[in-house]
Amino acid sequence: MEEWRLIIDRPGRGTYNMAVDLSILNSLARQACPPTLRLYSWYPPAITIGYFQRLEEEVRINKCRAAGVDVIRRVTGGGAVFHDRELTYSVFIPLSHSLALPSIRESYGLLCSPIVECLKSYGLNAHFSPVNDVLTGGAKLSGSAQTRRNGVLLQHGTLLVGADTELMFSLLNVSKEKSVAAAEGSPEGRVTSLSALLGELVLDGEFQTDLSMRLANAFAEGLGCVFVQAELSEAERREALEIEEGLFKREEWNRDRSIRPAFGAAGD
pLDDT averaged per 10 residues in sequence order, the chain, 268 residues: 97 98 98 98 97 95 96 96 97 98 97 98 97 96 97 98 92 66 51 95 92 98 98 98 96 88 50
Predicted TM-score (pTM) of the model is 0.93
Q: What is the pLDDT of residues 165-219, one digit of tens each?
A: 899 999 999 754 454 445 445 444 589 999 999 999 898 889 999 999 999 999 9
Residue 259's pLDDT is what? 80
Report d(CA 75, CA 123) in Å as an integer: 34
pLDDT for the residue 265: 46
- DSSP letter for 191, please: B
A 10 A CB-CB count for 61 gives 14
Q: Nearest to residue 50, comparing CAs of 18, 27, 24, 25?
A: 18
| pLDDT at 188 (0 to 100) | 42
Nearest to 84 by CA among 137, 14, 154: 14
Phi, psi for 267 (deg, rounded to 5): 105, 145
Query: Under a CB-based contact definition with an 8 Å cutoff, are residues 171 and 63 in contact?
Result: yes
**pLDDT on residue 183:** 46
d(C-alpha 1, C-alpha 67), whole Å = 47
The pLDDT value recorded for residue 262 is 59
Per-residue pLDDT at 264 = 55
What's phi and psi for 226, nearest 5 deg?
Answer: -120, 130
Q: At what angle do helices 205-223 and 104-120 cross, to 10 degrees?
A: 130
Report how far residue 76's alpha carbon sits from residue 163's, in angstroms, rounded to the nearest whole number: 22
Q: Give the Cα separation of 247 and 244 in Å (integer).
A: 6
Question: At 51, is the secondary structure helix, strand, or coil?
Answer: coil
Please provide residue 148's backbone torsions phi and psi, each rounded to the nearest 5 degrees: -130, 110
Q: Which CATH architecture has domain 2-255?
A: 2-Layer Sandwich (3.30)
- Residues counted in the chain: 268
Check residue 261 and give its pLDDT.
Answer: 64
How far CA 230 is from CA of 3, 4, 69, 124, 212, in Å, comes to 12, 10, 30, 30, 14
- At residue 202, the pLDDT reads 93
Whose CA is closest to 158, among 105, 93, 90? 90
pLDDT in tens, 218-232: 999 999 999 999 999
Omega of the bond leading into 44 within 30 degrees of 0 (cis): yes
> What's residue 203's pLDDT?
87
